[in-house]
Amino acid sequence: MANAADKPSATLDSFKARLRKKKIERGLPVSPTPSELARDNVLEDDGTVLYNLLGRMISLHPGNIVKKAGRAVRLGEADALKVAAAGGVPVPDVFGTEVTPEGRFRISMSYIEGQTLEAAWPSLSEDDKTSYCRQVGAILTAMRAIPPPDPSFIGACDGKEIRDGRLYSTYMSPVCADEEAFNAYLVSSITPATPDAVREAFVRRLQSQPRHRIVLTHGDLAPRNIMVRDGRVVALIDWEEAGWYPEYWEYVKFFQRTTAMEKDWRAHSKDIFVEAYPDELVDYIAVSKFQYP
């Protein structure tokens, strides 16, 4: 007889399997299977594993070189890092990218000394937390000052796709020529079971929004992706969701991509964001309730 403690995990696995089937039926990209991910757990002889989860192995090698590898890695992350670095944003230096004969993608980059803000956060004073958050805010201001390649283009920095990270999956879609097309993508990602009246209401709401500037966006601004050392934010890491998106996107993803456990972090949103987007936040939360998670 199965242990009761195993039931939540089994239920989640069953849900993920059904979600994967639905995505395949709709022609959407799917994450690698567990067997595919197991084949990715191959470490070069000279490396030390720093992180290994969800099809991404991050390892440290001689010369302080970090390699991010796996089937779930997107080489477009390297393009985002280069764009950010050119704009003066503190990020790891990119040394190169490659695709292995086994189909694994790999990005080589510099090692950032320090610890994540997630690790440091519990021991910080309120003044220290505020200081770090304001530093992140200054970095966002610098990011938003970087001119996009096209004032209306929306998509990843390599120009290949939109990456929309949600609760269980990251959804990909073709890039959008403008915000109207991006809004159409948001509506298209609503489940078929959504009532027509709800779908039409979302269309009207999105059409009524003012047009937004397109800015460089990290897309997963959470303490786990912020490196700190000696009271300073020294780098933003994990740029795989990054790209050129409407100016509100960073704000709504800030609340979606963090968890209830990070309530204290969310409470510092006013220290991080010079401008809030409450209307867009409410609209996006409403839309997301009817999207695949």
Give the CATH number of domain 115-288. Answer: 3.90.1200
Contact 164, 189 (CB under 8 A): yes
Q: Where are the beta strands (DSSP E) in the chain?
A: 48-53, 56-61, 65-70, 94-99, 105-110, 115-116, 162-165, 170-173, 214-217, 226-229, 232-236, 243-246
Q: Which residues contact 177 (CB under 8 A, 6 or more apart)?
A: 152, 153, 154
Contact 139, 89 (CB under 8 A): yes
> What's the confidence (pLDDT) of residue 35?
55
> What's the confidence (pLDDT) of residue 4?
47
Residue 171, both tokens? 């959804």
| Gap between the Cα atoms of 223 and 201, Å rounded | 35
Domain boundaries of the chain, sorted by first residue:
24-110, 115-288
* pLDDT per residue rounded down to tens, the chain (293 residues): 445 445 555 565 676 667 667 666 665 555 555 555 555 555 666 789 988 877 789 999 999 999 999 988 999 999 999 999 999 999 999 999 999 888 889 999 999 999 999 999 999 999 999 999 999 999 999 999 999 999 999 999 999 999 998 877 788 999 999 999 999 999 998 999 999 999 999 999 999 999 999 999 999 999 999 999 999 999 999 999 999 999 999 999 999 887 766 789 999 999 999 999 999 999 999 999 998 87
> What's the confidence (pLDDT) of residue 171?
87
**Token match 């089994």: residue?**
10
> What's the confidence (pLDDT) of residue 2?
46
The β-bridge relationship of strands 170-173 and 214-217 is: unpaired
> What's the confidence (pLDDT) of residue 3?
52
Topology adopted by domain 24-110: Phosphorylase Kinase; domain 1 (3.30.200)
| Gap between the Cα atoms of 260 and 266, Å rounded | 9
Query: Among 57, 49, 10, 9, which Cα is nearest to 32's?
Result: 57
Q: Which residues contact 135 (CB under 8 A, 6 or more apart)?
A: 232, 233
| Gap between the Cα atoms of 59 and 44, Å rounded | 9
> What's the confidence (pLDDT) of residue 56?
87
> What's the confidence (pLDDT) of residue 290?
93
